[in-house]
Structure 1
Protein backbone atom coordinates (compact mmCIF):
# COMPACT_ATOMS: atom_id res chain seq x y z
CA UNK A 1 0.00 0.00 0.00
CA UNK A 2 2.77 2.39 0.99
CA UNK A 3 4.71 1.48 -2.15
CA UNK A 4 1.69 2.19 -4.34
CA UNK A 5 1.22 5.64 -2.77
CA UNK A 6 4.91 6.45 -3.23
CA UNK A 7 4.75 5.43 -6.89
CA UNK A 8 1.64 7.54 -7.46
CA UNK A 9 3.30 10.54 -5.85
CA UNK A 10 6.41 10.04 -7.93
CA UNK A 11 4.39 9.89 -11.14
CA UNK A 12 2.43 13.02 -10.15
CA UNK A 13 5.67 14.94 -9.47
CA UNK A 14 7.37 13.70 -12.60
CA UNK A 15 9.89 11.63 -10.62
CA UNK A 16 8.96 8.28 -12.13
CA UNK A 17 10.91 7.04 -15.17
CA UNK A 18 7.86 7.06 -17.41
CA UNK A 19 5.81 9.69 -15.64
CA UNK A 20 4.94 13.01 -17.35
CA UNK A 21 6.58 16.17 -15.96
CA UNK A 22 4.57 18.06 -13.37
CA UNK A 23 2.62 21.15 -14.35
CA UNK A 24 4.47 24.43 -13.73
CA UNK A 25 3.31 26.29 -10.65
CA UNK A 26 3.17 30.02 -9.95
CA UNK A 27 6.08 29.63 -7.57
CA UNK A 28 8.22 28.24 -10.40
CA UNK A 29 8.34 31.61 -12.16
CA UNK A 30 11.94 32.90 -11.99
CA UNK A 31 12.31 35.93 -9.74
CA UNK A 32 13.63 38.03 -12.63
CA UNK A 33 10.51 37.26 -14.69
CA UNK A 34 8.24 37.99 -11.72
CA UNK A 35 9.95 41.35 -11.33
CA UNK A 36 9.28 42.22 -14.98
CA UNK A 37 5.61 41.35 -14.48
CA UNK A 38 5.35 43.44 -11.32
CA UNK A 39 6.95 46.43 -13.02
CA UNK A 40 3.89 46.69 -15.29
CA UNK A 41 1.43 46.90 -12.39
CA UNK A 42 0.26 49.64 -10.06
CA UNK A 43 1.69 49.85 -6.51
CA UNK A 44 -1.43 48.32 -4.87
CA UNK A 45 -1.39 45.45 -7.38
CA UNK A 46 2.31 44.85 -6.71
CA UNK A 47 1.64 44.58 -2.98
CA UNK A 48 -1.21 42.12 -3.55
CA UNK A 49 0.88 39.83 -5.75
CA UNK A 50 3.77 40.00 -3.29
CA UNK A 51 1.59 38.09 -0.83
CA UNK A 52 1.13 35.15 -3.21
CA UNK A 53 4.45 33.39 -2.76
CA UNK A 54 8.13 33.79 -1.96
CA UNK A 55 9.14 34.41 -5.58
CA UNK A 56 6.83 37.39 -6.03
CA UNK A 57 7.61 38.66 -2.54
CA UNK A 58 11.34 38.71 -3.26
CA UNK A 59 10.82 40.22 -6.71
CA UNK A 60 8.65 43.00 -5.26
CA UNK A 61 11.68 44.37 -3.40
CA UNK A 62 13.60 45.19 -6.58
CA UNK A 63 14.67 48.82 -6.69
CA UNK A 64 14.02 49.19 -10.44
CA UNK A 65 10.32 48.36 -9.91
CA UNK A 66 9.76 51.07 -7.34
CA UNK A 67 11.99 53.64 -8.99
CA UNK A 68 9.62 53.44 -11.96
CA UNK A 69 6.69 54.19 -9.61
CA UNK A 70 8.36 57.14 -7.90
CA UNK A 71 7.73 60.56 -9.50
CA UNK A 72 10.48 61.84 -11.77
CA UNK A 73 11.20 64.62 -9.23
CA UNK A 74 11.58 62.37 -6.19
CA UNK A 75 15.23 63.38 -5.73
CA UNK A 76 14.19 67.04 -5.63
CA UNK A 77 11.55 66.18 -3.01
CA UNK A 78 14.00 64.27 -0.82
CA UNK A 79 17.03 66.54 -1.20
CA UNK A 80 15.46 70.01 -1.50
CA UNK A 81 12.03 69.84 0.11
CA UNK A 82 12.50 67.28 2.89
CA UNK A 83 16.19 68.02 3.42
CA UNK A 84 15.76 67.93 7.20
CA UNK A 85 14.77 64.25 7.07
CA UNK A 86 18.11 62.62 6.25
CA UNK A 87 16.72 59.15 7.00
CA UNK A 88 14.97 59.11 3.62
CA UNK A 89 18.22 59.23 1.67
CA UNK A 90 19.36 55.69 2.48
CA UNK A 91 16.10 53.82 2.06
CA UNK A 92 15.44 51.14 -0.53
CA UNK A 93 13.12 52.41 -3.24
CA UNK A 94 10.11 50.45 -1.94
CA UNK A 95 10.60 51.88 1.56
CA UNK A 96 11.08 55.34 0.10
CA UNK A 97 7.83 55.04 -1.85
CA UNK A 98 5.97 53.98 1.30
CA UNK A 99 7.50 56.84 3.30
CA UNK A 100 6.61 59.45 0.68
CA UNK A 101 3.01 58.18 0.57
CA UNK A 102 2.65 59.38 4.16
CA UNK A 103 2.17 63.14 4.81
CA UNK A 104 5.62 64.72 5.08
CA UNK A 105 5.68 68.20 6.66
CA UNK A 106 8.10 70.90 5.51
CA UNK A 107 8.60 74.67 5.85
CA UNK A 108 8.27 74.48 9.61
CA UNK A 109 5.24 72.21 9.44
CA UNK A 110 3.12 74.75 7.53
CA UNK A 111 3.09 72.62 4.37
CA UNK A 112 2.86 68.90 3.60
CA UNK A 113 3.74 66.73 0.64
CA UNK A 114 2.76 63.14 -0.08
CA UNK A 115 2.37 60.75 -3.00
CA UNK A 116 -0.94 59.29 -4.05
CA UNK A 117 -0.40 55.63 -3.19
CA UNK A 118 -2.18 54.36 -6.32
CA UNK A 119 -0.44 56.50 -8.92
CA UNK A 120 2.65 58.02 -7.31
CA UNK A 121 1.30 61.48 -8.16
CA UNK A 122 2.62 64.43 -6.13
CA UNK A 123 0.11 66.06 -3.76
CA UNK A 124 0.67 69.20 -1.68
CA UNK A 125 -1.10 71.01 1.12
CA UNK A 126 -0.45 74.61 2.21
CA UNK A 127 -1.89 75.54 5.61
CA UNK A 128 -3.66 78.77 6.50
CA UNK A 129 -0.54 79.85 8.42
CA UNK A 130 1.47 79.66 5.18
CA UNK A 131 -1.07 81.87 3.38
CA UNK A 132 -1.21 85.67 3.39
CA UNK A 133 -4.57 86.68 4.88
CA UNK A 134 -5.53 90.36 4.94
CA UNK A 135 -6.22 91.44 8.54
CA UNK A 136 -5.14 88.14 10.10
CA UNK A 137 -3.37 89.93 12.98
CA UNK A 138 -6.47 91.90 13.98
CA UNK A 139 -8.31 89.79 16.55
CA UNK A 140 -11.50 91.76 15.95
CA UNK A 141 -11.82 90.01 12.60
CA UNK A 142 -9.64 86.90 12.46
CA UNK A 143 -8.34 84.26 14.83
CA UNK A 144 -6.60 80.87 14.68
CA UNK A 145 -8.75 78.19 16.28
CA UNK A 146 -7.70 74.66 17.26
CA UNK A 147 -9.35 71.81 15.42
CA UNK A 148 -9.24 68.07 14.84
CA UNK A 149 -10.83 68.42 11.39
CA UNK A 150 -7.65 69.48 9.62
CA UNK A 151 -4.27 67.91 8.94
CA UNK A 152 -2.93 70.99 10.77
CA UNK A 153 -3.40 71.95 14.45
CA UNK A 154 -5.45 75.06 13.65
CA UNK A 155 -7.46 76.86 10.99
CA UNK A 156 -8.06 80.56 10.40
CA UNK A 157 -11.53 81.74 11.41
CA UNK A 158 -13.12 84.91 10.06
CA UNK A 159 -15.73 86.49 12.32
CA UNK A 160 -16.46 89.50 10.12
CA UNK A 161 -14.74 91.67 7.53
CA UNK A 162 -15.43 94.05 4.67
CA UNK A 163 -12.36 92.96 2.71
CA UNK A 164 -11.80 89.20 2.33
CA UNK A 165 -8.50 88.33 0.68
CA UNK A 166 -6.38 85.19 1.01
CA UNK A 167 -3.22 84.87 -1.11
CA UNK A 168 -0.66 82.12 -1.52
CA UNK A 169 2.30 81.18 -3.66
CA UNK A 170 4.51 78.16 -4.16
CA UNK A 171 7.59 77.42 -6.23
CA UNK A 172 8.02 73.73 -6.89
CA UNK A 173 9.45 71.20 -9.32
CA UNK A 174 6.39 69.23 -10.47
CA UNK A 175 6.40 66.09 -12.63
CA UNK A 176 4.94 66.61 -16.09
CA UNK A 177 1.15 66.60 -16.00
CA UNK A 178 -2.01 68.55 -15.24
CA UNK A 179 -2.72 69.69 -11.68
CA UNK A 180 -5.77 71.09 -9.88
CA UNK A 181 -5.66 73.61 -7.05
CA UNK A 182 -8.35 73.83 -4.38
CA UNK A 183 -9.18 75.90 -1.32
CA UNK A 184 -10.58 73.93 1.63
CA UNK A 185 -13.16 76.17 3.31
CA UNK A 186 -16.08 75.81 5.70
CA UNK A 187 -18.95 78.12 6.48
CA UNK A 188 -19.45 78.07 10.24
CA UNK A 189 -17.25 77.39 13.25
CA UNK A 190 -16.88 73.78 14.37
CA UNK A 191 -17.29 73.04 18.07
CA UNK A 192 -17.11 69.76 19.94
CA UNK A 193 -20.12 69.06 22.15
CA UNK A 194 -20.70 65.78 23.95
CA UNK A 195 -18.00 64.16 21.85
CA UNK A 196 -19.48 65.28 18.51
CA UNK A 197 -18.52 68.05 16.15
CA UNK A 198 -21.29 70.59 15.59
CA UNK A 199 -21.38 73.79 13.56
CA UNK A 200 -21.88 77.22 15.10
CA UNK A 201 -23.45 79.29 12.31
CA UNK A 202 -23.77 82.48 14.38
CA UNK A 203 -21.48 84.64 12.23
CA UNK A 204 -22.29 83.26 8.76
CA UNK A 205 -23.42 86.11 6.53
CA UNK A 206 -22.69 87.94 3.29
CA UNK A 207 -21.53 85.05 1.12
CA UNK A 208 -24.83 84.74 -0.76
CA UNK A 209 -24.74 88.36 -1.94
CA UNK A 210 -21.68 88.24 -4.17
CA UNK A 211 -19.53 85.28 -5.29
CA UNK A 212 -15.99 84.67 -4.15
CA UNK A 213 -13.37 85.03 -6.87
CA UNK A 214 -10.62 82.41 -7.13
CA UNK A 215 -7.51 83.18 -9.17
CA UNK A 216 -4.53 81.10 -10.28
CA UNK A 217 -1.47 82.21 -12.27
CA UNK A 218 1.80 80.45 -13.12
CA UNK A 219 5.29 81.67 -13.98
CA UNK A 220 4.89 80.45 -17.57
CA UNK A 221 1.80 82.59 -18.23
CA UNK A 222 -1.13 80.34 -17.37
CA UNK A 223 -4.08 82.20 -15.87
CA UNK A 224 -7.40 80.98 -14.47
CA UNK A 225 -10.26 82.89 -12.79
CA UNK A 226 -13.38 81.24 -11.37
CA UNK A 227 -16.24 82.55 -9.26
CA UNK A 228 -18.77 80.85 -7.03
CA UNK A 229 -20.94 81.44 -3.98
CA UNK A 230 -19.85 79.70 -0.80
CA UNK A 231 -22.50 77.36 0.58
CA UNK A 232 -23.07 74.10 2.49
CA UNK A 233 -22.64 75.43 6.06
CA UNK A 234 -21.07 73.05 8.56
CA UNK A 235 -19.17 71.04 5.94
CA UNK A 236 -15.64 71.33 4.65
CA UNK A 237 -15.76 71.94 0.91
CA UNK A 238 -12.98 71.77 -1.67
CA UNK A 239 -13.52 74.80 -3.92
CA UNK A 240 -11.72 74.25 -7.21
CA UNK A 241 -9.66 77.25 -8.26
CA UNK A 242 -8.49 75.79 -11.57
CA UNK A 243 -5.95 73.65 -13.40
CA UNK A 244 -2.40 74.29 -14.55
CA UNK A 245 -0.18 72.24 -16.85
CA UNK A 246 3.47 71.34 -16.26
CA UNK A 247 5.38 70.51 -19.45
CA UNK A 248 8.95 70.41 -18.10
CA UNK A 249 9.75 68.58 -14.87
CA UNK A 250 13.33 69.89 -14.82
CA UNK A 251 12.38 73.48 -14.04
CA UNK A 252 10.69 75.15 -11.10
CA UNK A 253 7.09 76.24 -11.61
CA UNK A 254 5.94 79.22 -9.56
CA UNK A 255 2.23 79.45 -8.90
CA UNK A 256 0.27 82.26 -7.25
CA UNK A 257 -3.32 81.83 -6.14
CA UNK A 258 -5.95 83.77 -4.25
CA UNK A 259 -9.47 83.79 -2.87
CA UNK A 260 -11.15 87.20 -2.64
CA UNK A 261 -14.45 88.92 -2.00
CA UNK A 262 -13.62 92.61 -1.74
CA UNK A 263 -16.99 94.22 -2.45
CA UNK A 264 -17.14 96.68 0.45
CA UNK A 265 -20.88 97.32 0.16
CA UNK A 266 -21.48 94.57 2.71
CA UNK A 267 -19.67 92.58 5.39
CA UNK A 268 -19.15 88.83 5.35
CA UNK A 269 -18.14 86.42 8.06
CA UNK A 270 -18.40 83.03 9.70
CA UNK A 271 -15.79 81.34 7.49
CA UNK A 272 -12.99 78.87 8.32
CA UNK A 273 -9.94 78.74 6.04
CA UNK A 274 -8.01 75.48 6.34
CA UNK A 275 -5.58 75.14 3.45
CA UNK A 276 -4.89 75.21 -0.26
CA UNK A 277 -4.35 71.81 -1.86
CA UNK A 278 -2.73 70.73 -5.11
CA UNK A 279 -3.49 67.33 -6.66
CA UNK A 280 -2.81 65.72 -10.03
CA UNK A 281 -6.11 66.40 -11.80
CA UNK A 282 -7.13 62.73 -11.97
CA UNK A 283 -6.50 62.34 -8.24
CA UNK A 284 -8.33 65.59 -7.47
CA UNK A 285 -11.44 64.34 -9.25
CA UNK A 286 -11.46 61.19 -7.14
CA UNK A 287 -10.95 63.15 -3.92
CA UNK A 288 -13.84 65.50 -4.72
CA UNK A 289 -16.05 62.56 -5.72
CA UNK A 290 -15.31 60.72 -2.46
CA UNK A 291 -16.33 63.76 -0.42
CA UNK A 292 -19.48 64.66 -2.32
Structure 2
Protein backbone atom coordinates (compact mmCIF):
# COMPACT_ATOMS: atom_id res chain seq x y z
CA UNK A 1 0.00 0.00 0.00
CA UNK A 2 2.86 2.35 0.94
CA UNK A 3 4.51 1.64 -2.36
CA UNK A 4 1.36 2.63 -4.20
CA UNK A 5 1.15 5.92 -2.31
CA UNK A 6 4.77 6.72 -3.02
CA UNK A 7 4.29 5.95 -6.70
CA UNK A 8 1.26 8.21 -6.86
CA UNK A 9 3.09 11.08 -5.26
CA UNK A 10 6.02 10.63 -7.63
CA UNK A 11 3.64 10.86 -10.61
CA UNK A 12 2.14 14.08 -9.28
CA UNK A 13 5.55 15.69 -8.83
CA UNK A 14 6.91 14.49 -12.17
CA UNK A 15 6.45 16.12 -15.58
CA UNK A 16 2.93 15.80 -17.04
CA UNK A 17 2.24 14.62 -20.55
CA UNK A 18 1.10 17.34 -22.98
CA UNK A 19 -2.65 17.48 -23.48
CA UNK A 20 -4.74 18.28 -26.52
CA UNK A 21 -5.61 21.65 -25.01
CA UNK A 22 -1.92 22.57 -24.85
CA UNK A 23 -1.61 22.87 -28.62
CA UNK A 24 -1.25 26.58 -29.56
CA UNK A 25 -4.40 28.04 -31.08
CA UNK A 26 -2.64 29.17 -34.26
CA UNK A 27 -1.33 25.63 -34.82
CA UNK A 28 -4.83 24.23 -34.36
CA UNK A 29 -6.19 26.73 -36.88
CA UNK A 30 -3.58 25.70 -39.46
CA UNK A 31 -4.56 22.05 -39.02
CA UNK A 32 -8.25 22.89 -39.46
CA UNK A 33 -7.62 24.56 -42.83
CA UNK A 34 -6.93 21.11 -44.30
CA UNK A 35 -10.28 19.71 -43.13
CA UNK A 36 -13.71 19.79 -44.72
CA UNK A 37 -16.22 22.16 -43.07
CA UNK A 38 -18.18 19.39 -41.27
CA UNK A 39 -14.96 18.10 -39.70
CA UNK A 40 -13.96 21.61 -38.64
CA UNK A 41 -17.28 21.91 -36.80
CA UNK A 42 -16.81 18.49 -35.15
CA UNK A 43 -13.34 19.33 -33.86
CA UNK A 44 -14.63 22.68 -32.58
CA UNK A 45 -16.53 20.70 -29.94
CA UNK A 46 -13.37 19.08 -28.51
CA UNK A 47 -12.31 21.91 -26.21
CA UNK A 48 -12.04 25.66 -25.79
CA UNK A 49 -8.85 25.97 -27.86
CA UNK A 50 -10.31 24.14 -30.85
CA UNK A 51 -13.55 26.11 -30.58
CA UNK A 52 -11.70 29.43 -30.64
CA UNK A 53 -9.40 28.33 -33.48
CA UNK A 54 -12.32 27.13 -35.61
CA UNK A 55 -13.63 30.69 -35.90
CA UNK A 56 -10.49 32.03 -37.61
CA UNK A 57 -11.40 33.94 -40.77
CA UNK A 58 -8.56 32.47 -42.84
CA UNK A 59 -9.98 28.95 -42.30
CA UNK A 60 -13.39 29.80 -43.72
CA UNK A 61 -12.02 32.12 -46.39
CA UNK A 62 -10.44 29.02 -47.93
CA UNK A 63 -13.77 27.16 -47.81
CA UNK A 64 -15.87 29.90 -49.41
CA UNK A 65 -16.26 29.93 -53.21
CA UNK A 66 -14.25 32.56 -55.05
CA UNK A 67 -17.46 34.42 -55.96
CA UNK A 68 -18.90 34.60 -52.44
CA UNK A 69 -18.94 38.42 -52.46
CA UNK A 70 -20.94 38.36 -55.71
CA UNK A 71 -23.41 35.93 -54.10
CA UNK A 72 -23.71 38.04 -50.95
CA UNK A 73 -24.57 41.09 -53.06
CA UNK A 74 -27.30 39.05 -54.74
CA UNK A 75 -28.96 37.64 -51.64
CA UNK A 76 -28.46 40.31 -48.95
CA UNK A 77 -30.39 43.56 -49.12
CA UNK A 78 -27.52 45.29 -47.33
CA UNK A 79 -24.33 43.97 -48.93
CA UNK A 80 -22.26 46.10 -46.51
CA UNK A 81 -23.06 43.47 -43.88
CA UNK A 82 -20.40 41.25 -45.42
CA UNK A 83 -17.75 43.44 -43.83
CA UNK A 84 -19.32 43.01 -40.39
CA UNK A 85 -19.81 39.25 -40.56
CA UNK A 86 -17.07 36.74 -39.85
CA UNK A 87 -16.20 34.32 -42.64
CA UNK A 88 -17.65 31.43 -40.64
CA UNK A 89 -20.97 33.28 -40.33
CA UNK A 90 -20.97 33.99 -44.06
CA UNK A 91 -20.32 30.33 -44.84
CA UNK A 92 -23.13 29.20 -42.53
CA UNK A 93 -25.56 31.71 -44.02
CA UNK A 94 -24.77 30.72 -47.60
CA UNK A 95 -25.23 27.02 -46.81
CA UNK A 96 -28.94 27.74 -46.25
CA UNK A 97 -31.17 28.41 -49.28
CA UNK A 98 -31.05 32.14 -50.11
CA UNK A 99 -33.66 33.57 -52.46
CA UNK A 100 -33.13 36.48 -54.85
CA UNK A 101 -34.73 38.08 -57.91
CA UNK A 102 -38.05 38.47 -56.12
CA UNK A 103 -37.97 34.92 -54.76
CA UNK A 104 -37.85 33.34 -58.22
CA UNK A 105 -34.33 31.96 -57.68
CA UNK A 106 -32.43 30.35 -54.82
CA UNK A 107 -28.75 29.76 -54.21
CA UNK A 108 -26.91 27.76 -51.57
CA UNK A 109 -23.56 26.11 -50.89
CA UNK A 110 -22.94 22.43 -50.35
CA UNK A 111 -22.04 22.15 -46.64
CA UNK A 112 -19.20 19.71 -47.26
CA UNK A 113 -17.52 21.11 -50.36
CA UNK A 114 -18.64 24.73 -50.67
CA UNK A 115 -19.90 23.98 -54.19
CA UNK A 116 -22.46 26.42 -55.61
CA UNK A 117 -26.04 25.23 -56.26
CA UNK A 118 -28.57 27.45 -57.99
CA UNK A 119 -32.28 26.79 -58.58
CA UNK A 120 -34.64 28.71 -60.89
CA UNK A 121 -38.41 28.44 -60.40
CA UNK A 122 -40.92 27.78 -63.17
CA UNK A 123 -42.21 31.35 -62.79
CA UNK A 124 -38.80 32.63 -63.95
CA UNK A 125 -38.98 30.54 -67.15
CA UNK A 126 -40.54 31.44 -70.49
CA UNK A 127 -43.22 28.86 -71.21
CA UNK A 128 -45.12 29.04 -74.50
CA UNK A 129 -48.86 29.30 -73.81
CA UNK A 130 -48.50 29.85 -70.05
CA UNK A 131 -51.04 32.69 -70.16
CA UNK A 132 -53.74 30.47 -71.70
CA UNK A 133 -55.47 28.51 -68.94
CA UNK A 134 -56.83 26.03 -71.49
CA UNK A 135 -53.31 24.61 -71.65
CA UNK A 136 -51.24 25.73 -68.66
CA UNK A 137 -51.76 26.92 -65.12
CA UNK A 138 -49.72 27.35 -61.95
CA UNK A 139 -50.61 25.04 -59.09
CA UNK A 140 -49.52 25.09 -55.45
CA UNK A 141 -47.63 22.13 -54.02
CA UNK A 142 -45.42 21.45 -51.02
CA UNK A 143 -43.26 19.26 -53.28
CA UNK A 144 -41.55 22.29 -54.78
CA UNK A 145 -39.00 24.44 -52.96
CA UNK A 146 -40.84 27.39 -54.56
CA UNK A 147 -44.27 26.06 -53.49
CA UNK A 148 -45.58 26.45 -57.06
CA UNK A 149 -45.18 24.51 -60.31
CA UNK A 150 -46.44 25.02 -63.86
CA UNK A 151 -48.86 22.27 -64.93
CA UNK A 152 -49.56 21.43 -68.56
CA UNK A 153 -52.93 19.90 -69.27
CA UNK A 154 -52.51 19.56 -73.04
CA UNK A 155 -50.60 21.20 -75.89
CA UNK A 156 -49.29 20.59 -79.38
CA UNK A 157 -46.16 22.65 -78.81
CA UNK A 158 -43.99 22.28 -75.70
CA UNK A 159 -41.41 25.05 -75.33
CA UNK A 160 -39.78 25.99 -72.02
CA UNK A 161 -36.87 28.42 -72.09
CA UNK A 162 -34.76 30.23 -69.54
CA UNK A 163 -31.55 32.14 -69.10
CA UNK A 164 -29.36 33.44 -66.32
CA UNK A 165 -26.29 35.64 -66.16
CA UNK A 166 -24.13 34.73 -63.21
CA UNK A 167 -20.57 34.66 -61.93
CA UNK A 168 -19.63 31.06 -61.18
CA UNK A 169 -16.45 29.75 -59.54
CA UNK A 170 -14.17 27.92 -61.98
CA UNK A 171 -15.21 24.33 -62.60
CA UNK A 172 -17.55 21.97 -64.44
CA UNK A 173 -21.31 22.40 -64.08
CA UNK A 174 -24.47 20.55 -65.06
CA UNK A 175 -28.01 21.78 -65.62
CA UNK A 176 -31.10 19.72 -64.81
CA UNK A 177 -34.81 20.46 -65.14
CA UNK A 178 -37.19 18.93 -62.59
CA UNK A 179 -40.31 17.46 -64.22
CA UNK A 180 -43.16 15.26 -63.06
CA UNK A 181 -45.62 13.28 -65.19
CA UNK A 182 -49.01 13.55 -63.53
CA UNK A 183 -50.53 16.04 -61.12
CA UNK A 184 -49.54 15.36 -57.48
CA UNK A 185 -51.81 16.36 -54.61
CA UNK A 186 -52.80 15.24 -51.14
CA UNK A 187 -55.98 13.45 -50.16
CA UNK A 188 -56.67 12.80 -46.48
CA UNK A 189 -53.04 13.50 -45.74
CA UNK A 190 -51.72 10.99 -48.28
CA UNK A 191 -49.90 11.74 -51.53
CA UNK A 192 -51.97 10.99 -54.63
CA UNK A 193 -51.07 11.46 -58.30
CA UNK A 194 -53.63 12.16 -61.03
CA UNK A 195 -52.41 10.65 -64.32
CA UNK A 196 -55.55 11.57 -66.27
CA UNK A 197 -53.85 14.03 -68.62
CA UNK A 198 -50.53 12.17 -69.08
CA UNK A 199 -50.14 11.29 -72.76
CA UNK A 200 -47.92 11.75 -75.80
CA UNK A 201 -44.47 11.61 -74.16
CA UNK A 202 -43.47 8.19 -75.41
CA UNK A 203 -44.05 8.97 -79.10
CA UNK A 204 -41.22 11.42 -79.74
CA UNK A 205 -38.31 12.46 -77.48
CA UNK A 206 -38.00 15.81 -75.78
CA UNK A 207 -35.01 17.96 -76.78
CA UNK A 208 -32.81 19.51 -74.09
CA UNK A 209 -30.14 22.07 -74.95
CA UNK A 210 -28.02 24.87 -73.55
CA UNK A 211 -25.68 27.55 -74.89
CA UNK A 212 -23.31 29.88 -73.08
CA UNK A 213 -22.05 33.37 -73.86
CA UNK A 214 -18.54 32.02 -74.48
CA UNK A 215 -19.72 29.64 -77.23
CA UNK A 216 -20.35 26.36 -75.43
CA UNK A 217 -23.26 24.23 -76.62
CA UNK A 218 -24.79 20.98 -75.42
CA UNK A 219 -27.84 19.07 -76.66
CA UNK A 220 -29.54 15.78 -75.86
CA UNK A 221 -32.86 14.00 -76.36
CA UNK A 222 -34.92 11.53 -74.34
CA UNK A 223 -38.53 10.49 -73.81
CA UNK A 224 -40.18 11.52 -70.55
CA UNK A 225 -41.06 8.54 -68.36
CA UNK A 226 -41.51 7.46 -64.73
CA UNK A 227 -45.01 8.90 -64.15
CA UNK A 228 -45.84 9.79 -60.56
CA UNK A 229 -42.24 10.70 -59.65
CA UNK A 230 -40.14 13.83 -59.83
CA UNK A 231 -37.19 13.42 -62.18
CA UNK A 232 -34.23 15.75 -62.77
CA UNK A 233 -33.68 15.48 -66.53
CA UNK A 234 -30.17 16.35 -67.67
CA UNK A 235 -30.16 19.44 -69.91
CA UNK A 236 -26.39 19.72 -70.48
CA UNK A 237 -22.96 20.59 -69.13
CA UNK A 238 -20.74 23.67 -69.29
CA UNK A 239 -17.30 24.71 -68.05
CA UNK A 240 -16.32 27.92 -66.26
CA UNK A 241 -12.68 28.90 -66.73
CA UNK A 242 -12.77 32.57 -65.69
CA UNK A 243 -14.39 32.95 -62.25
CA UNK A 244 -14.20 36.74 -62.44
CA UNK A 245 -16.45 37.13 -65.48
CA UNK A 246 -20.21 36.96 -65.84
CA UNK A 247 -21.44 34.07 -67.97
CA UNK A 248 -24.84 34.11 -69.66
CA UNK A 249 -26.44 30.68 -69.97
CA UNK A 250 -29.51 29.94 -72.08
CA UNK A 251 -31.34 26.61 -71.85
CA UNK A 252 -34.48 25.09 -73.28
CA UNK A 253 -36.74 22.03 -73.23
CA UNK A 254 -38.82 21.50 -76.38
CA UNK A 255 -41.09 19.00 -78.08
CA UNK A 256 -42.55 20.82 -81.06
CA UNK A 257 -43.68 17.90 -83.20
CA UNK A 258 -47.26 18.92 -83.95
CA UNK A 259 -48.38 15.49 -85.19
CA UNK A 260 -49.65 14.64 -81.72
CA UNK A 261 -50.68 16.32 -78.47
CA UNK A 262 -48.97 15.81 -75.12
CA UNK A 263 -49.95 16.73 -71.62
CA UNK A 264 -49.98 15.98 -67.92
CA UNK A 265 -46.51 17.28 -67.01
CA UNK A 266 -45.45 19.54 -64.13
CA UNK A 267 -42.50 21.89 -64.60
CA UNK A 268 -40.95 22.71 -61.23
CA UNK A 269 -37.51 24.28 -61.54
CA UNK A 270 -34.08 24.27 -63.14
CA UNK A 271 -31.04 23.21 -61.11
CA UNK A 272 -27.46 24.29 -61.83
CA UNK A 273 -24.85 22.42 -59.80
CA UNK A 274 -21.26 21.12 -59.91
CA UNK A 275 -20.92 18.21 -62.33
CA UNK A 276 -19.17 16.24 -59.59
CA UNK A 277 -22.63 15.64 -58.15
CA UNK A 278 -23.17 13.50 -61.25
CA UNK A 279 -26.05 11.06 -61.27
CA UNK A 280 -26.90 11.93 -57.68
CA UNK A 281 -28.41 15.23 -58.90
CA UNK A 282 -31.19 13.29 -60.56
CA UNK A 283 -32.61 12.48 -57.13
CA UNK A 284 -32.21 15.94 -55.59
CA UNK A 285 -35.49 17.51 -54.58
- Normalization by structure 1: what TM-score? 0.93
Q: 1:221-240 to 2 correspondence within 5 Å?
A: 221-240=215-234
Change (3 A) 1:49 1:209: same
The yes-or-no answer on 1:267 pairing with 2:266 is no
What's the CA shift string for 1:35-82, capped at 9, x where partnerless?
Answer: 000000000111111111111111000010001100000011112x12
Distance 1:290 1:181 in 2: 12
User: Following TM superposition, by how much is the alpha carbon of 1:8 offset from its aligned partner in structure 2, in angstroms?
Assistant: 4.8
- What is the SS of the residue equivalent to 2:62? helix
Q: 2:179 aligns with which of 185, 195, 202?
A: 185
Residue 169 of structure 1, aligned match among 163, 182, 205: 163
In structure 1, C-alpha distance between the alignment counterparts of 2:9 and 2:145, rounded to whole Å: 61
The offset of 1:10, in angstroms, is: 5.2
**RMSD of aligned residue pairs (Cα, Å):** 1.9
Q: Secondary structure at the match of 1:286?
A: helix
2:40 aligned residue (39, 46, 60): 46
Residue of structure 2 in register with 1:132 after alignment: 126
The reply on whether 1:82 has 2:92 as its aligned counterpart is no
Name the counterpart of 1:12.
11
CA distance in 2 between partners of 1:42 and 1:58 (Å): 17
What residue in structure 2 maps to residue 287 of structure 1?
Answer: 281
The count of corresponding residues between Structure 1 and Structure 2 is: 284
Q: Which residues in structure 2 correspond to 1:8-157 (within 5 Å)?
A: 8=7, 11-13=10-12, 16=13, 19=14, 21-79=15-73, 81-86=74-79, 88-89=81-82, 90-157=84-151
Most deviating of 88-97 and 209-218: 88-97
Q: TM-score, normalising length from structure 2? A: 0.95
In structure 2, the CA distance between the partners of 1:285 and 1:11, relative to structure 1 (3 Å rule), is farther
Gapped runs of 5+ residues in structure 2? none
Give, in whole Å, the separation in 1 of the partners of 2:98 and 2:50.
Answer: 30
d(CA) in 2 for partners of 1:42, 1:62: 15
Secondary structure of 2:132's counterpart equals coil
Q: 2:232–2:284: 8 Å Cα contact kept in structure 1?
A: no
Alignment of 1:238-257 (within 5 A): 238-257=232-251
In structure 2, distance between residues paired with 1:10 and 1:170 = 73
